[in-house]
């Protein structure tokens, strides 16, 4: 869905007391008025889902997870299923973040299965795609992202319309090097055109959000671009006031 969506990704950060303070500040900030017709969420580590779902009970901020198993249940030590997340009130799940692709060897096929499992339980998958610095510098950025998107299309087909795609250039994650708004727009446009080759409805309605060093001082320009439907915010989402400022952008 193309409603402007801003989602925090805490990654492996937080503690019971830090979360409590963050939720209180963001909750109070949001009560002071947020732009209408937008969606806001935060993806927290698994052990904090229960605490955060309780803290968010009367908030417009939606709860998210940072991964989900491709499997329903059974002998999968360490995995967390979509049905468990649904029971915790989770509305979004990040899949295929570059940190998981690179450090845990997650492949496109597994990522698509994870997205499918999330969709089966009314959880919106946030499918991350993005090129490395090498791919960008050698003019292969679009080709690299196309390959990742094509794999999702081939498995998820028109269910993709219920997913979010997050374009996260790997060289911009946690580096302070944000893609220029035009550079991000160009890639979002390329993704939308690629999806149109498959299905015009999916292309017109899917939300494509940007991630990679989003801050309060660059969010307005990024989110104003015609094919950028919001942001997936890492480091800056840890600071409640900075996150609120990005949500207002």
Q: Which of 131, 135, 168, 242 is catalytic?
A: 168
DSSP 174-215: TTS-PPPHHHHHHHHHHHHHHHHHH-HHHHHH-EEEEESS--
Q: Is 168 a catalytic residue?
A: yes
List the one residue from 42, 165, 173, 181 that touches ligand 13P (CB under 6 A): 173
Q: Is 93 in the site for ligand 13P (CB under 6 A)?
A: no
Instruction: Count Cβ atoms within 10 A of the Cβ of residue 137 and give its class: 0-12 exposed, 13-18 middle, 19 or more buried.
Output: exposed
3-state secondary structure of 129: strand
Q: Which of 97, 106, 131, 242 is catalytic?
A: 97
Q: Is 116 in the site for ligand 13P (CB under 6 A)?
A: no
CA distance 78 to 126: 21
Q: How far is the CB of 64 from ligand 13P (least distance, A)?
A: 11
Range 140-169, binding ligand 13P (CB under 6 A): 168
Q: Is 99 a catalytic residue?
A: no
DSSP 11-70: -S---HHHHHHHHHHHHHHHHT---TT-EEEEE--GGGHHHHHHHTTTSSEEEEES---S
Residue 70 vs 173, nearer CB to ligand 13P: 173
Q: Is 187 in the site for ligand 13P (CB under 6 A)?
A: no
Q: How far is the CB of 138 from ligand 13P (least distance, A)?
A: 22
List the one residue from 5, 9, 69, 218 that touches ligand 13P (CB under 6 A): 9
CA distance 141 to 27: 38
Residue 191 vs 203, nearer CB to ligand 13P: 191
Q: Is 67 in the site for ligand 13P (CB under 6 A)?
A: no
List the one residue from 72, 134, 174, 180 that touches ligand 13P (CB under 6 A): 174
CA distance 79 to 141: 32
Residue 23 vs 210, nearer CB to ligand 13P: 210
CA distance 13 to 103: 17
Range 202-231, binding ligand 13P (CB under 6 A): 211-214
Q: How far is the CB of 27 from ligand 13P (least distance, A)?
A: 22
Catalytic residues: 97, 168
């Amino acid at each position: 869905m193309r409603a402007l969506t801003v989602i925090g990704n805490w990654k492996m950060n937080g503690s019971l007391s830090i979360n409590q303070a963050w939720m209180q500040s963001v909750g109070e900030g949001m009560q002071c008025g947020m732009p209408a017709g937008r969606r806001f969420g935060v993806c927290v580590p698994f052990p904090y889902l229960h605490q955060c779902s309780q803290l968010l009970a009367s908030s417009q901020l939606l709860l998210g997870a940072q991964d989900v198993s491709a499997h329903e249940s059974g002998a999968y030590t360490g995995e967390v299923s979509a049905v468990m997340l649904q029971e915790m009130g989770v509305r979004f799940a990040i899949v295929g973040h570059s940190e998981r692709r690179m450090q845990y060897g997650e492949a496109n096929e597994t990522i698509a299965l994870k997205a499918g499992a999330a969709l089966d339980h009314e959880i919106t998958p946030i499918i991350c795609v993005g090129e490395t610095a090498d791919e960008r510098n050698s003019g292969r950025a679009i080709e690299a992202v196309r390959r990742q998107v094509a794999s999702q299309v081939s498995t998820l087909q028109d269910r993709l319309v219920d997913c979010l795609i997050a374009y996260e250039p790997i060289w911009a994650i946690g580096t302070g090097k944000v893609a220029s708004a035009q550079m991000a727009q160009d890639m979002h446009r390329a993704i939308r055109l690629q999806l149109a080759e498959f299905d015009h409805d999916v292309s017109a309605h899917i939300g494509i959000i940007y991630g990679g060093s989003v801050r309060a001082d660059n969010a307005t320009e990024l989110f104003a671009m015609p094919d950028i439907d919001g942001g997936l915010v890492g480091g800056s989402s840890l600071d409640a006031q900075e996150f609120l400022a990005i949500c207002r952008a």
